[in-house]
Amino acid sequence: MMANFVRAFRALGDATRQKMLALLERKGELCVSELAQNFDMTQPSISHHLRILKDAGLVTAHKRGKEVYYAINPDELTKCCGLFFADFACCRPMLKNVRRRSRALAEGES
């Protein structure tokens, strides 16, 4: 469990990956070519960052035709936030918002 936690926070430690997650949160499921339109980098570089996010469990991937589509994994993001902030009383209200947002994402709401 702790290894997954560390892997997730290492993945979140990169500004490009943070921007990718924010974009996926705003736009929902996207393929590599759609993500690449929003970044000044090659598709292989985008794929590299997505692989790190996927290995950390922060995004899911599924193939549709020739494209692989990525989406936020709200359960894993909530779990990471919960583990990190659980002992900080000042963060508990924020955790409630994170859980609520995670449920909304899981149900397909924006």
| pLDDT number for residue 102 | 66
> What is the Rg, in whole angstroms, of the alpha carbon atoms belonging to the chain?
14
| pLDDT number for residue 5 | 73
Q: What pTM value is reported for the model?
A: 0.74
Is residue 1 within 8 A of residue 30, CB to CB? The reply is: no
- Which residues of the chain fall short of a pLDDT of 50? none
Sorted by where each begins, the domain ranges of the chain are 2-106
Token digits of residue 80: 């990471």
Which CATH number is 2-106's, of 3.90.480.10, 3.30.450.40, 1.10.10.10, 3.40.50.300?
A: 1.10.10.10
| pLDDT number for residue 95 | 64
Token digits of residue 90: 């000042």
CB atoms within 10 A of CB 76: 18
Token digits of residue 102: 């995670």
